[in-house]
Structure 1
């Protein structure tokens, strides 16, 4: 069990969502809400990609730029004999897949309410979350 990795896995994701949803209740400064939410999304992306995935499910991915300018995706998995914690794995996969769905619903809300500036935050969140979903889905194969 890796409670610290699980805590930060949830904290950055939940923090970004809560800042996006509730930030305007605490301040009228959209720029502050934007910057804090993007920072939390960036912390989440890096933590999931480099720490949480490795500790909670034994997977890691990254993208290398080749000398010819092309991209090469690299996938790493723990030794097959690794004893993983099923609660950690369940938490990781459920939250990994549920978060982009939530951001997509928030994007639809932005579109229907014509809040273009808020949609920028949501699009960035979707891109970062879908990149992790794609990377870990490929790793798990």
Structure 2
């Protein structure tokens, strides 16, 4: 008898995902821009077409990661707000309430691995373009780096913000509980008289 072992929780198997369609779409967007950039010349000689398709895929990846995959896979979201009076820009971070969303370890591993590996791959492609003197590809790689690094940095900060908020929330609820216990003990002491 042939028994298939199920993958361990947190392993890189999309079958363990809580949101497999979101995860597969996320991975498709993450890989498609790289694949078009790397193999586009095999199908067409038109550099402009490859450039445009890659930019559109990068924009779709940026939007999907920022607004859908981040929220569904790891419970994080970020956006940029501009103060109309001063013109100052600030990033706003949002995370799911502690206890309301349990993040699947598989989703989390895929999300963070893909978020950090893609900018590294684009950096390697930038170095390769420089070494091969293919300067025509550098603007595309620069745009790819700007988009992927922005998302990676924003989600890293959002995750740190979420962890700090959870710790602070736990401390406040613990101090609230400690305050209730202390006031209850003091109240009993004065009521005994």
Q: Which category describes the TM-score, using the shorter chain as reference length?
A: over 0.9
Q: Counterparts in 2 of 1:1-141, with a 5 A limit?
A: 1-67=18-84, 68-81=86-99, 82-141=101-160
Aligned partner of 2:165 in structure 1 is none
Deviation, structure 1 residue 131:
0.3
Equivalent-residue separation in structure 1 for 2:31 and 2:118 (angstroms): 9
Give the SS at the match of 1:62: strand
**Structure 1: 4+ residue segments shifted above 3 A:** none
Q: What's the CA shift for 1:101?
A: 0.4
The whole-number CA distance in structure 1 between the counterparts of 2:26 and 2:129 is 26
1:72 shift after superposition = 1.2
Match of 2:175 in 1: none
Shift of 1:7: 1.1
Q: Aligned to 2:91, what secondary structure does the other structure show?
A: strand
Q: Which residue of 1 aligns with 2:172?
A: none
CA distance in 2 between partners of 1:3 and 1:120 (Å): 34
- The runs of 5 or more residues in structure 2 that have no matched partner are 1-17, 161-193
The TM-score, its normalising length taken from structure 2, stands at 0.72
The structural deviation recorded for 1:4 is 1.3
Q: How many correspondences in the alignment?
A: 141
Flag structure 1 segments of 5+ consecutive residues without an equivalent.
Answer: none
Distance 1:8 1:23 in 2: 21
